[in-house]
Structures are given as C-alpha cells and as structure tokens.
Amino acid sequence: MTSPTTAIRTEALSRSFDGRLALDGLDLEVASGEVLALLGPNGAGKTTTVRLLNGVLRPDRGAATVLGLDSTEDGDEVRRRTGVLTENAGLDDRLTARENLEFAARIRGFGAAEAARRVDDQLERFAMGDQADLPTAGFSTGQRKRLALARALLHDPEILFLDEPTSGLDPTATRDVTNLIGTLARQHGRTVVLATHFLGEAGRIADRMAVLDHGRLRAIGRPDDLAAELWDGIPADIDLGRPATSSVLGLIAAVDGVIHHEVRATGTTINVRDRAAFARVLHTLSTQDVDVFGANLRRASMEDVYFALENSFATEREPAT
C-alpha cells in the first residue's frame, strides 16, 4: 500500500525499445517533499524513467503510481500535477518567450487573464521580463533553460521532473538554478526527481541518490549510507595534537560502532558504522579527559559514492579471467 506521504512508487517498472531493455524492473519509492537524484551514464534509463513516471511511455511490465494515480491509465491527470523540464528546453523558436509560456498555461487550463498573470510572475521570477517579447531563437542556453524551468513551474506542480536542468549553463546560472530547486523542495515542499550527470549539483540538493546502470537500479539511498556500505563505515578524523597513544586507541576501539582505527601524525582516523557511533567516540574521549582539538566526520560526497559504484559495476562487467 502506498503511504499518504509517498509521492512516487514503482514496482518492477520495465520498458524496452526494439528489443533492447531500457529499464529493467525498477522498484522505487519517493517520499513527498524529497529530492531524489537519478544518476547514471548516458543510456542508463534516466529519461525513460521520467517518461514512464509521467505517463508518456507505457511500461512493458510493472507499474508506476504518481501522487496515488496510475501513470499509464491516468496520464493526463498525472501530467496536470507534475512539471517537467526536458533535457532540451523544447521551446518553439518562432514564438516569443511570453508566447511559449502562455501556450503551456492555456494547455494547463488557465483562462487568458490568469495565464497572463502567471506568465508575468514567472518571467519576473526568472529575471526574464526584458526578454518577454523576443523570439526565443536568439536566446542563450542559460536563458532557454530558465524559460523552460519557468514553464515547468507555471502551474505550481506538486512534483517536478528535471532532466539535466543545468547542462549547458555557466557556473552562475548553474548555482542559481540549483538554489532554486533546493528552495522549491525545502521551502515549498515540492517533490523533485533530478535526472542528471552533474554530481556536484545533485549532491548539494538531493536527499537520496538512485544509480541506474544499463536500465537497472543498482543502488539507492543517502550518500552516507551508501558510502558506509561501500567503504565499510564512514571515515572520520580526530585531531589530538599528536599521534594517538595506545590507551586512546583502546578507548576508541571499545566504542560500539567503531569499525577501524589507525594512528595519524595529528591524532587518529577512524571508520564508524554511523554518525551516532562518531558521537559516542567523542563523548568517550571527552569523559576520559582526552584533549580533542578538532573532529571531522568525512561525509562522502555524492560524487565519491557514484564513482565508487561505477567502478564496482565496471568490475562486475569485466569477464572473469
């Protein structure tokens, strides 16, 4: 049973094209208000997933439920409540920025006056008021992306599917778009599925990451949790001002959740099972009057985790010798 806070749920979702499996048995659950980064190389199945979730493609097997609706049977109702930014901005270059947005607003059922108001609001929000009446043919990639994002947000969707939202953007525009997505999720409670190659941006805003490889979901979870599985714990540095003594190492080793420890020139590096174990280590050192000058839980970045996973997939694919 899909819980009331579940925005997206898929079960064994599969789709092939010309006999080639593009998505193979995807099981996924995304909570309302969550930002999920859908990661993977080209051809991994990210765009196919978005198309299946939004009812654009029909699955060969399995099903997808979005906002409690069957994506295949209630596609129009799903699309009414979702906003999509496709990899290509998909603007008609013979129309102006305003006309492109007004068209989408009218299709979404807004009357002329309401459509005009929403379009003006979005153009202002994305600082595109000056270009409102210009044909989009002359727009830069950044302007096109911003306009397409404005279009995706016109109707205040409950779920946003963003396919490569920052590809082709300069660093400033990338930061602005990333911040905006983060704000939508954090302050407005929007559920976001972010299909991207750009791990830095995904790492900044996503709660969880799902890694697709050749159409199969190979890993899903918080980067820290995935890192803990990959590297047998979360690494942490403790600055003691000098190499850790054997008695200090003994105290640390006795703490529940410490997997590994080794001496460093300024203290010790440990691997803990989870964040709580790290807190227990610090508490133990503090109660035993050990001077701690600094402590840093090295949170694995999404990038670290992704490449580690990619390497493990590549190793699996290598023929046994």
Partner 1 sequence: MTLAVSRRRGRRTPVDWPVVWSIVRRDLTAVRRSKGVVIPMLLVPTLLMIVLPLVIGIAARRVSGPTTSISFLDAIPDRLAEPIAALPPQEQLLTLVLGFLLAPLFLIVPLMVSAVIAADAFAGEKERRTMETLLHLPITDRDLFLAKLLTGMVPALAVSWGGFAAFTVVANAVSWSYVDGLIVPNQLWLVMIFWVAPAVALLGLGIMVRVSARSQTSQEANQLGGAVILPLIFLTVGQSTGLLLVDLSVGLAVGATVWVLAGLLVWRGARQFTRDRIASTT
Restricted to residues 95-124, the positions that interact with partner 1 (CB under 8 A) are: 95, 99, 103-104, 106-109
Does 145 sit near partner 1 (CB under 8 A)? no
d(CA 80, CA 217): 27
Minimal distance, residue 17 CB to partner 1, in Å: 6
40, 67, 79, 281: which one binds partner 1 (CB under 8 A): 79
Question: Closest separation between CB of residue 77 and partner 1, Å?
Answer: 7
Tokens of 205: 């805003």
Q: Which is nearer to partner 1, 54 or 268 (CB)?
A: 54
Is 261 one of the binding residues for partner 1 (CB under 8 A)? no
DSSP for 145-172 reads: HHHHHHHHHTT--SEEEEESTTTT--HH
Q: What is the pairing mode between strands 234-239 and 267-272?
A: antiparallel
Closer residue to partner 1 in complex, CB, 10/143: 10
Q: Name which of 268, 272, 198 is nearest 231 in CA terms.
A: 272
CA distances from 69 to 33, 88, 107, 188, 289 (A): 17, 27, 20, 22, 58
90 lies in the binding site for partner 1 (CB under 8 A)? yes
User: Strands across the sheet with 35-39, in order?
Assistant: 82-85, 159-163, 191-196, 35-39, 208-213, 216-221
Which 29-48 positions form the footprint of partner 1 (CB under 8 A)?
A: none
Where do contacts with partner 1 occur on this chain (CB under 8 A)? Answer: 1-2, 9-12, 17, 51, 54-65, 70, 72-73, 75-77, 79-80, 82, 84, 86, 88, 90-95, 99, 103-104, 106-109, 135, 148, 151, 161
